[in-house]
Structure formats: structure tokens, C-alpha cells
């Protein structure tokens, strides 16, 4: 059984790296194809930086790779992968399924956040992960965050395209998935102190552990769906001009993004609680942001 677990870990880790490469290639192709007001800027290319997790004791370790790009279309986009293992603190172990025994864990995943130069192209977040304690499960999802109020509706073409990509991926595996995971996303990406959603949703799922092969296949399709849907949205709007008023609206809306990620986001809390790379964890923060 232990050999099966190790083989599954390797397959999941390999997929996250493969998906990272696909996403980076697609985003760099978008940079190549851009024609507009920012052609004077260098064409964006991802820069990769490896990091190793500092070991608190002999059984802790792992690390990952940050892939960061600043370009004409992408003001800032990060696509990170990591694989870490160790022992949860007794307090944090209480929050993690299956960690109540010896507290040991293994976790691998991919995390992406894109902040676009154009206010007319929504920001986006995506991540999928595989975590092993005494249990083993998949989780993840993606959500779309328009920075203009006129786009912050499910009826907008961007939101419809994004949701339709995820709906198709969900329906291919379980007809109940989309309604369940879309609702979960709306509930998760909500700012209680503001009384408002972060964006127009997507899907969010966690603790998927009934059938490893099926859950892994679904997680792969979620990654493919995000890539297909979001690149289409970027290409649809990246050439359109915008106003200074729209740029200011974008910078203010980014403040909500910062507030959510620092106050509520599970991934941020998990990374910091397990001694992750702070630079990689806070990659999600936008390059420029305003509060009024």
C-alpha cells in the first residue's frame, strides 16, 4: 500500500509541474501576440526561482519553484508549484483532516494569481493540490475577479465563459459537482467585513477522497478548464483601450483582493503555518494597489 501512495504522490506532483509548463507557455504566447499601447514594454517572460523549505527537524523538508512574469498584458502573474512534507504543529493539526495522529503530512500543488495591466481584463486565481495525512484528498478551484463594476456580474461575457469552462469539466465527472462547487466558491470567496463577494465566482472544492483515480482525473480537468477559459477571456479583452478612471477603479478593487488573501485565504494560512516560502506565499498580492 505504501508503494501505491508514493506512486500516486509522484503522479500528482508531475501533473502540477506539467500544468505549470502549459500555463506559462500559453501566457507567454499571449505576450507575443499583444498589439497595443504597451508595445514599448518588454515582452513578458517567466523567471523561475527555486526555493527549499527550511527544516525545523530532520523529517521536515521539500520546496518548490516560483515562476513570475511582468509584461505587457500581465502586470504581474505568478505560477508556483511546491511539494512539502513534515509535521503540523499540534494546534494547526486540529484543523486538518487526518492529522490528529502523529501530525505528519505531505502536500503538493500548483497556485496561480494573475493581475492584469488592463482594467478590462479580470484578475484570476487558480490552484489545485493533493494532501496526504492519515487521509489523502484533492482540493482546489479557480475564481474570476473583474476590477470594473460593470463586469462584476454573472451575466457578463467574461463570467459566462469562465463558468462554462468549469461547468463542462464538472459535468464530465459528476452532474452534481458544478452546482455544489460553484456555491462553495461563492461562500468561500466572500469578504465578511465588506459584505461583498471578491469577484464573480468559479468553483471551489476540497476533501475529495472517495476514488483517487477519479478525483485525480477531475483535478486534471479542472486545470485544463481554467487554462482554456481564462486565456480566451484575456485574448478577448487585452487589446481594448481604457481610461484613467477605469485604472483607478482597478487599483481600488485590488485592495479587496489583498484583504481577502491576508485575512481569510486557506492557502496563505497553510503556507505560513508550515514554514513555506514567504515570497511565494505572498506572490498573490498585486504590484500596485490603492485604498481610499
What CATH number does residue 53 fall under? 3.40.1500.10
**Three cell numbers at 121?**
481584463
The CA distance from 109 to 271, in Å, is 11
- The boundaries of the domain holding residue 172 are 2-284
Contacts of 169 (CB under 8 A, 6+ apart): 218, 221, 222, 224, 225
**Residue 125 annotated in active site:** yes
pLDDT at residue 251 in the model: 97
Read off the C-alpha cell for 39: 508595445
- Mean pLDDT by groups of 10 residues along the chain of 292 residues: 86 98 98 95 97 71 95 98 88 75 89 98 98 94 96 96 98 98 97 96 96 98 98 96 96 96 90 83 94 91
Q: How is residue 133 written as a grid cell?
A: 495525512
C-alpha triplet 112, 113, 116: angle, nearest 5°:
135
Give the separation between CA 201 and CA 178, rounded to whole angstroms: 12
Map grid coordinates 483515480 to a residue: 213
- Cα Dmax for the chain: 59
Residues in the chain: 292
> According to the model, what pLDDT value does residue 160 have?
98
* pTM metric for this prediction: 0.94
Q: Which H or E run contains 232?
A: helix 212-237
Does residue 292 fall inside a structural domain?
no
Given 57, 70, 115, 125, the catalytic residue: 125
pLDDT at 238: 95
Q: Which three cell numbers, joined as nine digits, stand for 233?
A: 477571456
In a domain, 290, yes or no: no
Beta carbons of 108 and 61 less than 8 angstroms apart: no
The x, y and z cell numbers of residue 21, run together, are 509548463
Answer yes or no: is 6 within a domain: yes
Classify residue 291: in a domain, yes or no: no
CB environment 161-175: b (16+ within 10 A), e (fewer)? bbbebbbebbeebee
Contact between 204 and 226 under an 8 Å Cβ cutoff? The reply is no
Q: Quick count: other Cβ atoms within 10 Å of Cβ 4?
A: 9
What is the number of structural domains in the chain? 1
Amino acid at each position: 500500500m505504501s508503494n501505491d501512495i508514493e506512486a500516486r504522490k509522484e503522479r500528482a506532483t508531475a501533473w502540477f509541474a506539467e500544468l505549470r509548463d502549459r500555463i506559462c507557455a500559453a501566457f507567454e504566447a499571449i505576450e507575443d501576440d499583444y498589439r497595443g499601447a504597451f508595445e514599448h514594454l518588454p515582452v513578458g517572460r517567466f523567471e523561475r526561482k527555486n526555493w527549499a523549505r527550511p527544516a525545523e527537524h530532520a523529517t521536515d523538508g521539500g520546496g518548490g519553484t516560483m515562476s513570475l512574469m511582468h509584461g505587457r498584458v500581465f502586470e504581474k502573474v505568478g505560477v508556483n508549484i511546491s511539494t512539502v512534507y513534515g509535521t503540523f504543529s499540534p494546534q494547526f493539526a486540529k484543523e486538518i483532516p487526518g492529522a490528529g495522529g502523529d501530525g505528519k503530512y505531505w502536500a503538493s500543488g500548483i497556485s496561480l494569481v494573475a493581475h492584469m495591466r488592463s482594467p478590462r481584463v479580470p484578475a484570476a486565481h487558480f490552484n489545485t493540490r493533493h494532501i496526504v495525512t492519515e487521509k489523502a484528498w484533492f482540493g482546489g478551484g479557480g475564481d474570476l475577479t473583474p476590477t470594473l463594476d460593470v463586469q462584476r456580474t454573472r451575466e457578463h461575457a467574461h463570467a459566462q465563459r469562465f463558468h462554462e469552462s468549469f461547468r463542462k469539466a464538472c459535468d464530465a465527472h459528476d452532474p452534481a459537482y458544478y452546482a455544489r462547487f460553484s456555491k462553495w466558491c461563492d461562500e468561500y470567496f466572500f469578504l465578511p467585513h465588506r459584505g461583498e463577494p471578491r469577484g464573480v465566482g468559479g468553483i471551489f472544492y476540497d476533501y475529495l477522497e472517495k476514488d483517487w483515480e477519479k478525483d485525480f482525473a477531475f483535478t486534471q480537468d479542472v486545470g485544463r478548464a481554467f487554462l482554456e477559459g481564462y486565456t480566451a477571456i484575456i485574448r478577448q479583452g487585452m487589446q481594448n483601450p481604457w481610461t484613467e478612471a477605469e485604472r483607478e477603479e482597478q487599483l481600488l478593487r485590488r485592495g479587496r483582493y489583498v484583504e481577502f488573501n491576508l485575512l481569510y485565504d486557506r492557502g496563505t494560512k497553510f503556507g505560513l503555518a508550515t514554514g513555506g516560502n514567504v515570497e511565494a506565499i505572498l506572490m498573490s498580492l498585486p504590484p500596485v494597489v490603492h485604498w481610499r
